[in-house]
């Protein structure tokens, strides 16, 4: 006899709750969960211990500059911080300093800093010049960070320094991943220089800087023209703020759960399909006491 149905033929199996067939299914499913978790953990880290994103930081120049010149066996210095100048023995004469922040795409964040520094010097004998630029640096997208730091630019020339062009970028460095949370990390958000308790030992400040977990550095190239003995040195410094600064961060619990679940399912689903095929074979051949049910109307 031929049966006509309005639905495709389907077959499934029924067994008592505490039968061997039901217990076998339960053991297989639990085993798949345990096995998938073990494989995910053994072959790779569960979740994300560290991730990376890009952000354009907010960088503000603090109007603090320190210049050290080494010429004719003497050390000359100058700073825009009056308290620092008071402790100097030899001050650079006739300095002229201008700083121009440039927001080229008008998004409220500075894209480039342009510094023009000029001072009187024995340019033919000026073989080393060090410029310290102090900035405030902030991240606010995924990781939240505020810090005060400085960049050191060093110019050296055996033939003297009369004109120099510096082009580079302000790069972020970190030893450990930042936390991705709503709390701003401000461990290093302390004024380094222009304060009542300022440390004017730049060598010590530089040592403390590189001992931090997070800091900024200047990645730059220089072009120095030989001195002609004009008695003046002109420096042109251009520092870009990266539009896509790479930031390492540690995902929070919810982000870790999201990626852990994907890793687990990528292992569980293929083995679940294989286990389902195997169980269907066992039930179809009646290796356990089960009842076959289908949708044929009799």
Question: Are 27 and 279 spatial neighbours (Cβ–Cβ below 8 Å)?
Answer: no
3 state SS of 193: coil
Burial 268-287 (b: 16+ CB within 10 A, else e): beeebeebeeebeebbeeee
Reported as a single tens digit per residue, the pLDDT across 32-56 is 888 877 777 776 655 556 678 899 9
3 state SS of 153: strand
Alpha carbon distance 94, 79 (integer Å): 12
pLDDT at 43: 66
Question: Are 123 and 232 spatial neighbours (Cβ–Cβ below 8 Å)?
Answer: yes
Chain-centroid distance, C-alpha 210: 17
pLDDT at 62: 92
Alpha carbon distance 144, 188 (integer Å): 13
Reported as a single tens digit per residue, the pLDDT across 185-224 is 766 666 666 555 555 678 888 888 888 889 999 999 999 9
Tell me the domain boundaries of the chain: 11-48+252-294, 51-250
Instruction: Please list the rounded mean pLDDT of every run of 10 residues in the chain (298 residues).
Output: 64 68 80 79 62 90 92 87 80 89 92 95 88 93 88 91 94 86 67 59 83 92 85 94 89 68 79 81 69 61
3 state SS of 200: coil
Question: Are 59 and 110 spatial neighbours (Cβ–Cβ below 8 Å)?
Answer: yes
Pairing of strands 58-71, 51-55: unpaired
pLDDT at 295: 59
Burial 119-132 (b: 16+ CB within 10 A, else e): bebbbbbbbebbbb
Residue with tokens 């049910």: 293
Reading the block at residue 44, the tokens are 């790779």
């Amino acid at each position: 006899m031929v049966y006509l149905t309005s639905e495709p033929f389907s077959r499934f199996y029924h067994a008592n709750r505490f039968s061997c067939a039901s217990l076998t299914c339960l053991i297989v499913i639990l085993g798949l969960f345990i096995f998938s978790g073990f494989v995910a953990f053994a072959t790779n880290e569960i979740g994300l211990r560290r991730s990376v994103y890009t952000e354009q930081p907010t960088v503000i120049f603090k109007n603090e500059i320190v210049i050290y010149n080494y010429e004719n066996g003497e050390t000359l210095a100058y700073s825009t911080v009056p308290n620092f100048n008071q402790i100097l023995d030899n001050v650079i004469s006739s300095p002229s300093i201008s700083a121009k922040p440039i927001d080229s795409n008008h998004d409220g964040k500075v894209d480039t800093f342009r510094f023009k520094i000029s001072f009187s010097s024995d340019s033919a004998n000026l073989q080393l010049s060090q410029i310290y630029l102090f900035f405030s640096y902030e991240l606010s997208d995924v990781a939240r960070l505020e810090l005060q730091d400085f960049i050191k630019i060093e110019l050296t020339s055996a033939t003297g320094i009369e004109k120099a062009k510096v082009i580079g970028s302000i790069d972020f460095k970190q030893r450990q991943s930042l936390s991705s949370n709503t709390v701003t990390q401000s461990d290093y958000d302390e004024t380094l220089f222009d304060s009542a308790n300022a440390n004017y030992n730049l060598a010590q400040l530089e040592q403390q800087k590189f001992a931090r977990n997070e800091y900024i550095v200047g990645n730059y190239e220089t072009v120095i023209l030989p001195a002609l003995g004009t008695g003046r040195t002109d420096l042109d410094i251009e520092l870009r703020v990266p539009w896509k600064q790479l930031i390492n961060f540690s995902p929070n619990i919810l982000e870790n759960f999201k990626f852990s679940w994907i890793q687990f399912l990528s292992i569980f689903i293929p083995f679940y399909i294989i286990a389902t095929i195997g169980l269907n074979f066992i039930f179809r051949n009646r290796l356990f006491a089960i009842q076959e049910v289908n949708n044929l109307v009799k």
